[in-house]
Protein backbone atom coordinates (compact mmCIF):
# COMPACT_ATOMS: atom_id res chain seq x y z
CA UNK A 1 0.00 0.00 0.00
CA UNK A 2 2.04 2.89 -1.33
CA UNK A 3 -0.76 5.36 -2.07
CA UNK A 4 -1.38 7.52 1.03
CA UNK A 5 2.12 8.34 2.31
CA UNK A 6 1.82 6.34 5.50
CA UNK A 7 4.87 5.11 7.37
CA UNK A 8 5.54 1.41 6.60
CA UNK A 9 6.94 0.90 10.11
CA UNK A 10 5.02 0.62 13.39
CA UNK A 11 5.07 3.63 15.76
CA UNK A 12 7.61 4.05 18.61
CA UNK A 13 7.27 1.29 21.29
CA UNK A 14 6.83 4.01 23.96
CA UNK A 15 3.69 5.15 22.13
CA UNK A 16 2.19 1.66 22.13
CA UNK A 17 2.99 1.43 25.85
CA UNK A 18 1.31 4.81 26.50
CA UNK A 19 -1.82 3.62 24.65
CA UNK A 20 -1.92 0.44 26.78
CA UNK A 21 -1.62 2.44 29.93
CA UNK A 22 -4.20 5.06 28.87
CA UNK A 23 -6.64 2.25 28.04
CA UNK A 24 -6.62 1.22 31.70
CA UNK A 25 -7.01 4.85 32.82
CA UNK A 26 -10.19 6.77 33.67
CA UNK A 27 -11.96 6.51 30.30
CA UNK A 28 -15.27 7.28 32.03
CA UNK A 29 -13.94 10.85 32.33
CA UNK A 30 -13.74 13.40 29.50
CA UNK A 31 -10.22 14.06 28.22
CA UNK A 32 -8.25 17.26 28.86
CA UNK A 33 -9.82 19.67 26.30
CA UNK A 34 -6.49 21.49 25.94
CA UNK A 35 -4.30 18.37 25.55
CA UNK A 36 -1.90 20.03 28.00
CA UNK A 37 0.54 17.13 28.40
CA UNK A 38 0.99 16.94 24.63
CA UNK A 39 1.40 20.70 24.21
CA UNK A 40 4.06 20.82 26.92
CA UNK A 41 6.00 17.94 25.40
CA UNK A 42 5.70 19.34 21.87
CA UNK A 43 6.81 22.84 22.90
CA UNK A 44 9.88 21.35 24.56
CA UNK A 45 10.69 19.10 21.61
CA UNK A 46 10.33 21.93 19.08
CA UNK A 47 12.09 24.58 21.17
CA UNK A 48 9.02 26.82 21.38
CA UNK A 49 8.57 29.32 24.24
CA UNK A 50 5.65 27.39 25.78
CA UNK A 51 2.55 25.19 25.34
CA UNK A 52 0.39 28.23 24.52
CA UNK A 53 2.04 28.25 21.06
CA UNK A 54 0.33 24.94 20.18
CA UNK A 55 -3.21 23.82 19.32
CA UNK A 56 -3.82 20.05 19.18
CA UNK A 57 -6.22 18.50 16.69
CA UNK A 58 -7.74 15.29 15.37
CA UNK A 59 -5.17 15.00 12.58
CA UNK A 60 -3.81 18.03 10.76
CA UNK A 61 -6.87 17.82 8.49
CA UNK A 62 -8.94 18.98 11.48
CA UNK A 63 -6.50 21.82 12.10
CA UNK A 64 -6.82 22.87 8.43
CA UNK A 65 -10.61 22.71 8.77
CA UNK A 66 -10.49 24.95 11.86
CA UNK A 67 -8.23 27.44 10.08
CA UNK A 68 -10.37 27.71 6.96
CA UNK A 69 -13.53 27.93 9.07
CA UNK A 70 -12.00 30.68 11.19
CA UNK A 71 -10.47 32.85 8.50
CA UNK A 72 -12.42 32.43 5.26
CA UNK A 73 -16.06 33.49 5.02
CA UNK A 74 -18.60 32.93 2.28
CA UNK A 75 -17.58 34.66 -0.94
CA UNK A 76 -14.08 35.40 0.34
CA UNK A 77 -10.93 33.96 -1.19
CA UNK A 78 -8.36 31.37 -0.25
CA UNK A 79 -5.09 30.96 -2.18
CA UNK A 80 -3.28 27.70 -2.83
CA UNK A 81 -0.51 26.51 -5.11
CA UNK A 82 -1.25 24.03 -7.87
CA UNK A 83 -0.76 21.08 -8.00
CA UNK A 84 -0.92 20.59 -4.25
CA UNK A 85 -3.04 19.03 -1.49
CA UNK A 86 -6.58 18.58 -2.87
CA UNK A 87 -8.31 18.95 0.51
CA UNK A 88 -7.72 22.74 0.51
CA UNK A 89 -10.21 23.27 -2.31
CA UNK A 90 -12.79 21.09 -0.59
CA UNK A 91 -12.46 23.13 2.61
CA UNK A 92 -12.95 26.34 0.64
CA UNK A 93 -16.00 24.87 -1.12
CA UNK A 94 -17.57 23.92 2.23
CA UNK A 95 -17.24 27.55 3.32
CA UNK A 96 -18.78 28.80 0.10
CA UNK A 97 -15.45 30.53 -0.43
CA UNK A 98 -13.53 31.00 -3.66
CA UNK A 99 -10.19 29.36 -4.17
CA UNK A 100 -7.49 30.87 -6.29
CA UNK A 101 -4.83 28.52 -7.64
CA UNK A 102 -1.33 29.72 -8.46
CA UNK A 103 0.58 27.26 -10.65
CA UNK A 104 4.04 26.08 -9.70
CA UNK A 105 6.51 26.63 -12.53
CA UNK A 106 8.42 23.78 -14.19
CA UNK A 107 11.05 23.87 -11.42
CA UNK A 108 8.33 23.68 -8.73
CA UNK A 109 8.93 27.29 -7.70
CA UNK A 110 6.10 29.75 -7.08
CA UNK A 111 5.69 32.91 -9.19
CA UNK A 112 5.31 36.35 -7.49
CA UNK A 113 1.51 36.07 -7.94
CA UNK A 114 1.39 33.77 -4.91
CA UNK A 115 2.67 36.58 -2.68
CA UNK A 116 0.49 39.37 -4.13
CA UNK A 117 -1.81 40.90 -1.47
CA UNK A 118 -5.53 41.36 -2.22
CA UNK A 119 -8.35 42.70 -0.04
CA UNK A 120 -10.70 39.72 -0.26
CA UNK A 121 -7.90 37.20 0.22
CA UNK A 122 -8.27 35.81 3.75
CA UNK A 123 -5.91 32.86 3.87
CA UNK A 124 -3.07 31.32 1.86
CA UNK A 125 -2.15 27.65 2.19
CA UNK A 126 1.25 26.28 1.25
CA UNK A 127 2.31 22.66 1.75
CA UNK A 128 6.06 22.50 2.31
CA UNK A 129 7.28 19.90 1.37
CA UNK A 130 4.60 19.95 -1.30
CA UNK A 131 2.43 17.00 -2.29
CA UNK A 132 2.45 15.45 -4.88
CA UNK A 133 5.90 16.76 -5.85
CA UNK A 134 7.85 16.35 -2.59
CA UNK A 135 9.63 19.60 -3.42
CA UNK A 136 10.40 22.37 -0.92
CA UNK A 137 10.61 26.12 -0.98
CA UNK A 138 13.40 27.48 1.28
CA UNK A 139 12.11 29.04 4.52
CA UNK A 140 13.60 32.46 3.70
CA UNK A 141 11.57 32.51 0.47
CA UNK A 142 8.45 31.63 2.51
CA UNK A 143 9.29 34.43 4.96
CA UNK A 144 9.24 36.88 2.04
CA UNK A 145 5.88 35.51 0.83
CA UNK A 146 4.43 35.97 4.35
CA UNK A 147 5.78 39.53 4.56
CA UNK A 148 4.21 40.43 1.25
CA UNK A 149 0.76 38.93 1.97
CA UNK A 150 -1.66 40.77 4.22
CA UNK A 151 -3.57 37.59 5.19
CA UNK A 152 -2.32 34.67 7.31
CA UNK A 153 -0.10 32.12 5.55
CA UNK A 154 -0.49 28.48 6.62
CA UNK A 155 2.63 26.42 5.99
CA UNK A 156 1.46 22.79 5.99
CA UNK A 157 4.51 20.86 7.23
CA UNK A 158 2.96 17.37 7.17
CA UNK A 159 6.16 15.99 5.61
CA UNK A 160 8.75 18.27 7.17
CA UNK A 161 10.51 15.57 9.21
CA UNK A 162 11.79 14.09 5.94
CA UNK A 163 13.27 17.46 4.90
CA UNK A 164 16.08 19.61 6.31
CA UNK A 165 14.47 23.06 6.66
CA UNK A 166 11.31 24.20 8.46
CA UNK A 167 9.34 27.37 9.16
CA UNK A 168 8.99 27.30 12.95
CA UNK A 169 11.26 30.33 13.42
CA UNK A 170 9.01 32.30 11.06
CA UNK A 171 6.08 31.79 13.46
CA UNK A 172 8.01 33.54 16.21
CA UNK A 173 8.89 36.42 13.88
CA UNK A 174 5.48 36.97 12.23
CA UNK A 175 2.04 36.38 13.80
CA UNK A 176 0.58 35.77 10.34
CA UNK A 177 2.68 32.62 9.82
CA UNK A 178 0.88 29.48 11.01
CA UNK A 179 2.54 26.04 10.79
CA UNK A 180 0.62 22.74 10.79
CA UNK A 181 2.21 19.39 11.64
CA UNK A 182 0.99 15.79 11.83
CA UNK A 183 1.93 12.56 13.58
CA UNK A 184 0.50 10.57 10.65
CA UNK A 185 3.64 10.42 8.52
CA UNK A 186 7.06 10.37 10.22
CA UNK A 187 5.72 9.02 13.56
CA UNK A 188 3.77 6.18 11.92
CA UNK A 189 0.51 7.19 13.62
CA UNK A 190 -1.94 7.80 10.75
CA UNK A 191 -4.47 5.54 12.49
CA UNK A 192 -4.32 7.54 15.71
CA UNK A 193 -5.46 10.88 14.20
CA UNK A 194 -3.31 13.55 15.76
CA UNK A 195 -1.98 16.81 14.34
CA UNK A 196 -1.25 20.26 15.65
CA UNK A 197 -0.82 23.92 14.85
CA UNK A 198 2.07 26.17 15.86
CA UNK A 199 1.16 29.87 16.04
CA UNK A 200 1.57 32.85 18.32
CA UNK A 201 -0.38 32.53 21.61
CA UNK A 202 -3.03 35.15 20.77
CA UNK A 203 -3.85 33.27 17.55
CA UNK A 204 -3.96 29.90 19.35
CA UNK A 205 -6.27 31.35 22.02
CA UNK A 206 -8.76 32.66 19.43
CA UNK A 207 -8.75 29.44 17.38
CA UNK A 208 -9.26 27.43 20.59
CA UNK A 209 -12.67 29.07 20.87
CA UNK A 210 -13.97 27.44 17.69
CA UNK A 211 -12.60 23.94 17.98
CA UNK A 212 -14.81 21.17 19.40
CA UNK A 213 -14.37 20.99 23.18
CA UNK A 214 -12.99 17.48 23.23
CA UNK A 215 -11.46 17.24 19.78
CA UNK A 216 -8.68 14.86 20.92
CA UNK A 217 -9.43 11.76 22.97
CA UNK A 218 -7.54 10.63 26.09
CA UNK A 219 -5.80 7.75 24.35
CA UNK A 220 -4.53 9.82 21.45
CA UNK A 221 -3.32 12.58 23.79
CA UNK A 222 -1.32 10.04 25.82
CA UNK A 223 0.10 8.48 22.65
CA UNK A 224 1.00 11.80 21.04
CA UNK A 225 2.71 12.95 24.24
CA UNK A 226 4.84 9.79 24.27
CA UNK A 227 5.67 10.35 20.60
CA UNK A 228 7.17 13.75 21.45
CA UNK A 229 9.63 11.93 23.73
CA UNK A 230 10.70 9.52 20.96
CA UNK A 231 13.32 11.68 19.23
CA UNK A 232 15.98 8.98 18.64
CA UNK A 233 13.32 6.59 17.25
CA UNK A 234 12.18 9.30 14.84
CA UNK A 235 15.73 10.03 13.65
CA UNK A 236 16.29 6.32 12.89
CA UNK A 237 13.04 5.84 11.00
CA UNK A 238 13.46 9.01 8.96
CA UNK A 239 17.04 8.02 8.02
CA UNK A 240 15.83 4.58 6.96
CA UNK A 241 12.93 5.97 4.90
CA UNK A 242 15.05 8.64 3.26
CA UNK A 243 17.50 5.90 2.19
CA UNK A 244 14.60 3.90 0.71
CA UNK A 245 13.44 7.03 -1.09
CA UNK A 246 16.80 7.11 -2.90
CA UNK A 247 16.37 3.40 -3.77
CA UNK A 248 12.89 4.13 -5.15
CA UNK A 249 13.97 7.19 -7.15
CA UNK A 250 17.02 5.38 -8.60
CA UNK A 251 14.91 2.36 -9.55
CA UNK A 252 12.30 4.50 -11.27
CA UNK A 253 14.97 6.39 -13.19
CA UNK A 254 16.48 3.10 -14.34
CA UNK A 255 13.02 2.18 -15.62
CA UNK A 256 12.98 5.38 -17.70
CA UNK A 257 10.86 7.62 -15.44
CA UNK A 258 11.58 11.24 -14.70
CA UNK A 259 11.59 11.58 -10.92
CA UNK A 260 11.16 14.91 -9.15
CA UNK A 261 13.79 15.24 -6.36
CA UNK A 262 11.78 14.68 -3.17
CA UNK A 263 12.14 15.86 0.44
CA UNK A 264 9.16 13.81 1.65
CA UNK A 265 8.22 10.13 2.10
CA UNK A 266 7.02 9.76 -1.49
CA UNK A 267 8.17 10.57 -5.01
CA UNK A 268 6.39 12.04 -8.00
CA UNK A 269 7.29 10.46 -11.32
CA UNK A 270 6.30 10.67 -14.94
CA UNK A 271 7.32 8.59 -17.91
CA UNK A 272 8.28 10.54 -21.08
CA UNK A 273 6.32 8.06 -23.23
CA UNK A 274 3.18 8.84 -21.19
CA UNK A 275 3.27 12.63 -21.45
CA UNK A 276 1.87 14.82 -24.23
CA UNK A 277 -0.35 14.31 -27.26
CA UNK A 278 1.96 11.74 -28.82
CA UNK A 279 1.92 9.53 -25.70
CA UNK A 280 1.83 5.83 -26.55
CA UNK A 281 0.66 4.74 -23.08
CA UNK A 282 -0.62 6.39 -19.93
CA UNK A 283 0.28 6.57 -16.24
CA UNK A 284 -3.24 5.32 -15.52
CA UNK A 285 -2.32 2.06 -17.33
CA UNK A 286 0.64 1.54 -15.01
CA UNK A 287 -1.54 2.33 -11.99
CA UNK A 288 -4.14 -0.24 -13.13
CA UNK A 289 -1.51 -2.90 -13.83
CA UNK A 290 -0.07 -2.44 -10.33
CA UNK A 291 -3.51 -2.51 -8.77
CA UNK A 292 -4.34 -5.77 -10.51
CA UNK A 293 -1.17 -7.12 -8.93
CA UNK A 294 -2.11 -5.96 -5.41
CA UNK A 295 0.16 -2.91 -5.37
CA UNK A 296 -1.48 0.44 -4.72
CA UNK A 297 0.20 3.67 -5.83
CA UNK A 298 -1.50 7.01 -6.44
CA UNK A 299 -2.44 8.04 -9.95
CA UNK A 300 -3.05 11.79 -10.02
CA UNK A 301 -4.39 13.92 -12.83
CA UNK A 302 -4.36 17.71 -12.66
CA UNK A 303 -5.84 18.90 -15.96
CA UNK A 304 -4.62 20.78 -17.90
CA UNK A 305 -1.34 20.57 -16.00
CA UNK A 306 -0.92 16.83 -16.53
CA UNK A 307 -0.81 13.54 -14.69
CA UNK A 308 1.68 11.21 -13.06
CA UNK A 309 2.24 8.69 -10.30
CA UNK A 310 2.89 9.43 -6.64
CA UNK A 311 4.55 6.50 -4.90
CA UNK A 312 4.99 6.40 -1.12
CA UNK A 313 8.21 5.16 0.45
CA UNK A 314 7.61 1.69 1.88
CA UNK A 315 10.08 -0.83 3.22
CA UNK A 316 12.96 -1.80 0.91
CA UNK A 317 11.17 -5.08 0.09
CA UNK A 318 7.92 -3.30 -0.77
CA UNK A 319 9.76 -0.85 -3.01
CA UNK A 320 11.67 -3.63 -4.77
CA UNK A 321 8.38 -5.46 -5.40
CA UNK A 322 6.80 -2.27 -6.71
CA UNK A 323 9.73 -1.56 -9.06
CA UNK A 324 9.66 -5.13 -10.35
CA UNK A 325 5.95 -4.83 -11.11
CA UNK A 326 6.37 -1.42 -12.78
CA UNK A 327 8.99 -3.03 -15.03
CA UNK A 328 6.43 -5.70 -15.96
CA UNK A 329 3.80 -3.02 -16.55
CA UNK A 330 6.15 -1.28 -19.00
CA UNK A 331 6.76 -4.58 -20.80
CA UNK A 332 3.02 -5.15 -21.06
CA UNK A 333 2.70 -1.67 -22.58
CA UNK A 334 5.55 -2.50 -25.01
CA UNK A 335 7.77 0.13 -23.46
CA UNK A 336 11.27 -1.32 -23.17
CA UNK A 337 12.65 -0.40 -19.76
CA UNK A 338 16.33 0.52 -19.73
CA UNK A 339 16.74 -1.44 -16.54
CA UNK A 340 19.02 -4.15 -15.25
CA UNK A 341 17.91 -7.25 -13.38
CA UNK A 342 19.78 -6.16 -10.26
CA UNK A 343 17.53 -3.11 -9.80
CA UNK A 344 14.46 -5.19 -9.09
CA UNK A 345 15.12 -8.36 -7.10
CA UNK A 346 12.51 -10.96 -7.96
CA UNK A 347 12.51 -12.48 -4.45
CA UNK A 348 10.39 -9.59 -3.17
CA UNK A 349 7.66 -9.91 -5.78
CA UNK A 350 4.90 -10.95 -3.41
CA UNK A 351 5.44 -8.28 -0.69
CB atoms within 10 A of CB 50: 11
Give the number of C-alpha atoms closer than 13 A to the C-alpha of residue 311, restricted to the C-beta side.
Answer: 34
Q: Which window, 22-30, 55-63, 108-116, 336-344, contacts ligand PMP (CB under 6 A)?
A: 55-63
Site string (78-97) toward ligand PMP, x via CB under 6 A = -------x------------
Q: Judged by CB under 6 A, which of 133, 184, 220, 344 binds ligand PMP? A: 184
- Of 234, 223, 232, 174, which Cα lies nearest the Cα of 194? 223
Give the number of C-alpha atoms closer than 13 A to the C-alpha of residue 38, restricted to the C-beta side.
Answer: 30
CB atoms within 10 A of CB 140: 10
CB of 301 to ligand PMP, least distance (A): 17
Residue 224 backbone phi and psi in degrees, to 5: -65, -35
Distance CA 310, CA 308 (A): 7
Query: For ligand PMP, which is the closer residue by CB, 160 or 171?
Result: 160
Distance CA 242, CA 236 (A): 10
Q: Which window, 58-66, 133-141, 234-242, 247-255, contacts ligand PMP (CB under 6 A)?
A: 58-66
Asked if 156 interacts with ligand PMP (CB under 6 A), we say yes
Q: Which window, 27-35, 56-64, 73-81, 142-150, contacts ligand PMP (CB under 6 A)?
A: 56-64
Distance CA 92, CA 256 (A): 38
Under rule CB under 6 A, which residues in 186-225 are in contact with ligand PMP?
190, 195
Query: For ligand PMP, which is the closer residue by CB, 220 or 339?
Result: 220
CB of 340 to ligand PMP, least distance (A): 33
Residue 116 backbone phi and psi in degrees, to 5: -75, 125
Q: Judged by CB under 6 A, which of 11, 127, 256, 308 binds ligand PMP? A: 127
Query: For ligand PMP, which is the closer residue by CB, 161 or 320?
Result: 161
Under rule CB under 6 A, which residues in 305-324 are in contact with ligand PMP?
none
Number of residues lying near ligand PMP (CB under 6 A): 12
- Of 297, 301, 290, 278, which Cα lies nearest the Cα of 325? 290
Strand segments, DSSP code E, in 8-161 are 54-57, 77-82, 98-103, 121-127, 153-156
Query: For ligand PMP, which is the closer residue by CB, 188 or 195?
Result: 195
Under rule CB under 6 A, which residues in 253-282 are in contact with ligand PMP?
none
Asked if 61 interacts with ligand PMP (CB under 6 A), we say yes
Asked if 3 interacts with ligand PMP (CB under 6 A), we say no
Distance CA 93, CA 173 (A): 31
Asked if 59 interacts with ligand PMP (CB under 6 A), we say yes
Q: Judged by CB under 6 A, which of 3, 60, 65, 133 binds ligand PMP? A: 60
CB of 79 to ligand PMP, least distance (A): 16
Asked if 8 interacts with ligand PMP (CB under 6 A), we say no
CA 122 to chain centre: 23
What would the DSSP string read from start to end of 120-175?
Answer: TEEEEEEESS-TTT-----HHHHHHHHHH-SS-EEEE-TTGGGSS---HHHHHH-T
| DSSP bridge pairs for 197 | 55, 180
CB of 264 to ligand PMP, least distance (A): 9
Query: For ligand PMP, which is the closer residue by CB, 85 or 289?
Result: 85
Asked if 7 interacts with ligand PMP (CB under 6 A), we say no
Would you say 14 and 229 are in contact if contact means Cβ atoms under 8 Å apart? yes
Q: Which residues bind ligand PMP (CB under 6 A)?
A: 59-61, 85, 127, 131, 156, 158, 182, 184, 190, 195
Amino acid sequence: KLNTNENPYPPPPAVVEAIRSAATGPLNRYPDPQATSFRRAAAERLGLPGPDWILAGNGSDEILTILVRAFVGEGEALRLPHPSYILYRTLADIQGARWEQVDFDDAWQLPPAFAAPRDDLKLALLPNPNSPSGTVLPSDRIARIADSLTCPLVVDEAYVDFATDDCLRLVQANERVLVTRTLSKSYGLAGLRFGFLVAQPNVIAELGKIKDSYNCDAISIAAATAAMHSGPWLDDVVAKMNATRVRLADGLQRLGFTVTPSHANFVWCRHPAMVGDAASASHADVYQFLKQNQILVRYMDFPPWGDGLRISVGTDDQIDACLLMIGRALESLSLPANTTASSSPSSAATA
